[in-house]
Chains A and B, each alone.
Chain A
Amino acid sequence: MTQLDSRGAARWVGQSVRRREDVRLVTGRGRYVDDVTMPGLLHAHFVRSPVARGALTRVDATAARQQPGVVAVLTAEDVNPSAHSFWVTMMGPDAARAPMRVLADRDVRYVGEPIALVVAESRYLAEDAAELVDLDVDPRPAIVTIEQALSNGERVHPELDTNLSGEIPAVADHELDRLFAEAARVVTATLGQHRYLCVPMEPRGLIAAWDPWQQRMEIVASTQTVHETRAQWSRLLAVPEESIRVVMGDVGGSFGQKMFPGREDHAVVIAAKLLGRAVKWIEDRAENLIAAGHAREESMEVSLAVEADGRITAARAHHLENVGAYPIFGDGMSAPTAASMFPGPYHLRRLAFSAQGTYTNTSGHCAYRGPWMMETTAREQMIDIVAGELGVDPLELRRRNVIQQDELPFTTATGLVYTAVSPAETLEQAAGLIGYEAFRKEQEEARARGRYLGVGLSLYIEPQFGFGVLGTEAATIRVEPSGRVNVLMSTGSHGQSLETTVVQVVADELGVSIDDIRFFQGDSAATPYGPGTGGSRSAAIASAAAMQASQQVREKVLLIGAHLMEAAPDDVEMACGAVSVKGDPAAGVPLAQVAAVAYLNTDALPPGVPPGLETTARWKAPMFMFSNACHAATVEVDRVTGQVTLLRYVVSEDCGNMINPMVVEGQIAGGVAQGIGGVFYEHFVYDGDGNPLTTTFLDYQLPTAAEVPDFEYGHVVTPAPTPGGFKGMGEGGAIASPAALINAVRDALRPLGVKITAQPLTPDAIVQAIERAAG
């Protein structure tokens, strides 16, 4: 139901407007990369390493090349010389990274590493030919775990003299030492997290078409960002940026996995150029599980200095990350961001944070929804562990440590300044919604009857970054001569509903209906430069640009409309798609008429007003913005089978003003489901030789509708200091939920003395933890 303002004009922002995207998507008329075809399109399929580490002594494609329908089989010697550069804009050319190559050359460094590319008339034929490529691989012992990488003298990358992809060294800090020495108690634990994955429902893929006559590359990609991919491929191929056009249509989810192109994408782009053809590559699910970017395999050792009253004054944390063989960008480490966010919403005075990222013979690290989330996973579990040791309720312990409103602006131990956050308020709202006190009674009664119920909390701050590539967003608004409004954005929405939310913002600012606005994004030739969509920032920052552009257009519309009505500009307003005198909405000049004058009948323009109704606004984002939320979960654990039933899940969210509450809640829900999946069901497993064991959906198990309860939401609104007051929040569901869920299980099994320090919490793992506690 649309809200109307005092003039009877619709107000769209703040309403759960139904999505513009949906009509084409529910009818099956979305256009994903595999839906795109063109004459002469060829199909690619990769030959991949069957072994995690070894010498690649022979790649014989003779038989494969002879297969009917096979156009080419390309190996490292064909492809790699065409790859001139691999760096991503965000990290710059000098950032540390693995010694990159497109196709494996002389050795292999993870199972699934691409060795050769078959290009054929169909995917079926390409797969047939791929089987005929003869490989000789001489296996060597693989380095699979962080421990092995740190202790093994063998190198994942022989070009480097270390298995460390990066390091934040421990630094002496006397003030920290003093706080620890003076603390009433020091609580230490090492918390582990397993490897789990983005798993978008649409795997990776792209079409690259090189026209040798025009020397132009046209690319349709399943990506989060057309401009960054264009930039990278321009550098890769050493061709001018303007000779490459990258377009994204509908994209079937990503969660960070498609933020940067992978080696396969590079290989396909190079193949298209070498062959002068259009080449399509669509990853299948086994490839997506085995060889697309991986995430989350980390551990953190945390020591907290705790006062007698439970105040946590200082922390030491050492963060280990398994970044695989070829992290998708840079050194693959989330540690720098994890370090800065570790204090979370608490009064922590001092933090010493060190970290190591290790290369291993496994699939490389990619961003996955809140890549730095280990800081919350570890910190929030530590709060509960400290609470347990002190005999204080975890809710109460958080109350004693959380930042209050009257302490803002608050500078954290890592130098971040919070100005507009509400952690204490969300803590109370979440506790209220889940009925915390009543639950404790219910829990006690259940325990008396031999049943194990538990509640877990997770309180966190979510950052949005606005520097470097992420520093600006742009919106071009064009009112066409017909009066229709076209909005061209720098975003790369792939499920974030920007086609609806940005249009809501523009509709309000311009005073037109959302039905009169068309949204465009994701065409490097047409839409303004931007970072695409990722990092929880699109709606907040892109909408600020859209607002600015809308305001500029509106000002001009009012000038022209006033002139046409022979009124003073201050006496007119824009609403319901027309310029009218304030207080007299009936007689107005429709936007179409204003536009006709602006483009076609320019002599009728007011003096000094240039023709046209189009503008681009580029908005500079603040370096940091922060949203925050509190998650609360209740569970029951079956002591015999170790199965966990999720009873309730509550989120109290503060992301400032909400453009579309339905969209906000949808983003939370998706993230929480990924946390449920990660904690209880999903585990990407390698054996001791680096062979992946969970290579299909039969073994890598995603939660279904039957495993996820109804989520409940509360909202707190602390507007951002930006136009519109919107904040990003898309990653938060996946950042906070694991700790809430693990804490709930820990709380349920507390009477049995169970210690939980690792994931996933499968029934077997829970039973083993119970048995260990029983001694």
Chain B
Amino acid sequence: MAELDVTVTVNGQRRRLRVEPRKTLADALREDLALTGTHLGCEHGVCGACTVLVEGQAVRSCLLFAVQVDGADVTTVEGLTPADGSLSPVQQAFRDCHGLQCGFCTPGFIVSATAFLAGHPRPSETEIREGMAGNLCRCTGYQGIVRAVRQAAAAQAGGAHDAAR
């Protein structure tokens, strides 16, 4: 089919694309918008390396077509990175806790963990492990990843506590 025009807000910026309907959101982000932080690990919705936020919800961008997000708000790992060069609490926690080695799965985990913690401010151990079960990692054995999510949750809780005072 002929290409369709798509207008989508990505990381706070309005972008215009012209894509075939079958082009996945993952491919459009990587190729048309040069946002290569979102990775392809399986292209069938299991590994989570392609996770992005659409309207604030964590989704697999390999299972969405770019044409479907016309008018929507998309956030990638690049958009979760503070503009001043610092790291977000989740990114910092992954670094502090050795939650990555080769780094290929990491953007997907950063996005998933950020979304997960937004919905689970005080997660239990089980909730953390199940919450992260939608992303595959082959290097870390998940040890540093679970520690990172624990640390980021604690940082979040601490922050909220301070704000409440």
Contact = CB atoms under 8 A, between A and B. Distances in A.
Interface of A: 16, 18-19, 21-32, 34-35, 37, 124, 199-203, 250-253, 255, 282, 284-285, 494-497, 662-663, 665-666, 668-674, 696-698, 702, 704-708, 710-711, 733
Given A26-B100, A202-B39, 15 more contacts: A21-B103, A22-B100, A26-B77, A28-B81, A29-B78, A30-B104, A497-B101, A666-B141, A669-B140, A670-B140, A674-B141, A697-B47, A705-B142, A707-B133, A708-B141
Nearest to B111: A28
Nearest to B137: A201
Interface centre among B44, B139, B140, B145 (most CB of A within 10 A): B139
Nearest to A707: B133
B145 A284 contact: no
Contact of A670 (B20, B81, B87, B139): B139
A250 B107 contact: no
B44 A698 contact: yes
Nearest to B49: A201
Interface in B118-165: 128-130, 132-146
B12 to A, nearest CB: 15
A167 B148 CA distance: 48
B6 interface: no
A29 B141 contact: no
B73 to A, nearest CB: 18
A663 B98 contact: yes
A253 B101 CA distance: 8
B27 to A, nearest CB: 8
Contacts of B137: 201, 705
Band of interface residues on B: 35 or more
13 contacts: A23-B87, A26-B100, A26-B110, A27-B91, A37-B31, A200-B102, A252-B39, A285-B41, A666-B101, A669-B143, A670-B141, A673-B138, A673-B140
Nearest to B24: A124
A285 B43 contact: yes
B36 interface: yes
Contact of B100 (A25, A32, A704): A25
- Max chain A Cβ within 10 angstroms of own Cβ: one of B49, B101, B110: B101
B61 interface: no
A494 B102 contact: yes
The 9 A-B pairs of least Cβ separation, nearest first, read A28-B37, A252-B104, A25-B103, A669-B141, A673-B141, A495-B102, A28-B77, A495-B101, A697-B46
Nearest to B23: A124
Contacts of B136: 201, 697, 702, 704
Contacts of A663: 98
Contacts of A704: 132-136, 142
A30 B103 contact: yes
Nearest to B92: A26
A19 B44 contact: no
B141 A32 contact: no
Nearest to B36: A35
B142 A202 contact: no
Contacts of B130: 705-706
- Say what secondary structure dominates the interface of chain B: loop
B42 interface: yes
A154 to B, nearest CB: 35
A386 B139 CA distance: 34
A663 B144 CA distance: 10
B18 interface: no
Contacts of A696: 42, 44, 46
B74 interface: no
Contact of B44 (A202, A495, A671, A697): A697
Contacts of B36: 28, 31-32, 34-35
B101 A27 contact: no
Contacts of A697: 42, 44, 46-47, 136
A21 B98 CA distance: 11
Contacts of A698: 44, 46
Contacts of A668: 141
B31 to A, nearest CB: 8
A706 B91 contact: no
A124 B27 CA distance: 10
B109 to A, nearest CB: 9
A124 B19 CA distance: 12
Nearest to B81: A27
Contacts of B43: 284-285
A251 B44 contact: no
Contacts of B95: 18-19, 22-23, 26
B142 to A, nearest CB: 4
A674 B135 CA distance: 15
Contacts of B138: 199-201, 253, 255, 670, 673-674, 702
A203 B40 CA distance: 9
B98 A29 contact: no
A202 B102 contact: yes
A25 B140 contact: no
A18 B100 contact: no
Interface in B46-98: 46-47, 49, 76-78, 81, 87, 91, 94-96, 98
A670 B143 CA distance: 9
> Most B CB atoms within 10 A — which of A32, A252, A668?
A252
